[in-house]
Chain A
Amino acid sequence: QVTLKESGPGILQPSQTLSLTCSFSGFSLSTSGMGVGWIRQPSGKGLEWLAHIWWDDDKRYNPALKSRLTISKDTSSNQVFLKIASVDTADTATYYCAHYDYDAYAMDYWGQGTSVTVSS
């Protein structure tokens, strides 16, 4: 059973770095074909894909945000991390992590999301 759970600071100030953690179970990121990514959703709005990382450490970023994003993984602890530098109010959103199926190339299991507010 694949499960994912996001955690984050809840609130932070403009210009700070947002650090998010995705803790998962039911699969291993050392297994071929496995991937985890991050997607965000401002309240009442649509979905924006941010980044994902594959079992072989291949990393992909949204070009619009690439300069501010860093994704990494700790296979031994079943965690994936996302850092977003220099946040501003536009980064206020619910952040989801999701498991990727390599064959379908779709996000097949999602976490419950963690709400992040950027405010001074």
Chain B
Amino acid sequence: DVVMTQTPLSLPVSLGDQASISCRSSQSLVHSNGNTYLHWYLQKPGQSPKLLIYKVSNRFSGVPDRFSGSGSGTDFTLKISRVEAEDLGVYFCSQSTHVPPFTFGSGTKLEIK
């Protein structure tokens, strides 16, 4: 199974700050078809996860442009340019290149400093 390692586990930020979350996979996520199936989800308290970014850098419908994804191979980053209160929660990266199984990172909790 592909192991997804996220850092940090906890990220205290002030509103308006930039935040950056790292996700590293145990093997390259480049599929034989050339796509890289690395996705980011946000789970707000008491809610189900919501898709933010798919295939490394594509924002899902309705996701604000302050969210951006980048990376390649085994190293990926989610950036939030100006953190707002509604952005707080747990962020998960996930891969669907080498499946089954789909695997998730352990999560990064974005919280107010």
Contacts and interface: CB of A to CB of B under 8 A. Distances in A.
Interface of A: 37, 46-49, 60-64, 96, 101, 104-113
Nearest to B6: A46
A64 B102 CA distance: 12
Count class of interface residues, chain B: 20 to 34
B93 to A, nearest CB: 11
A6 to B, nearest CB: 9
Interface stretch (B11-19, B51-59, B81-89): B51-59
Dominant SS among interface residues on chain B: loop
A60 B106 contact: no
Interface of B: 1, 35, 37, 39, 41, 47-51, 54-55, 58, 60, 92, 94, 96, 99-107
A113 B44 CA distance: 13
Contacts of A105: 35, 37, 96
A84 B58 CA distance: 34
Contacts of B92: 46-47
A104 B55 CA distance: 6
B100 A106 contact: no
A111 B49 CA distance: 9
27 contacts: A46-B92, A46-B107, A47-B49, A47-B104, A48-B104, A49-B101, A49-B103, A60-B99, A60-B100, A63-B1, A63-B100, A64-B101, A96-B49, A101-B54, A104-B39, A104-B58, A105-B96, A106-B54, A106-B94, A106-B96, A107-B39, A107-B41, A107-B102, A108-B51, A108-B54, A110-B50, A112-B48
B50 A61 contact: no
Contact of A106 (B37, B105, B107): B37
A96 B54 CA distance: 19
Contacts of B58: 104
Contacts of A46: 92, 104-107
A107 B47 CA distance: 15
A106 to B, nearest CB: 4
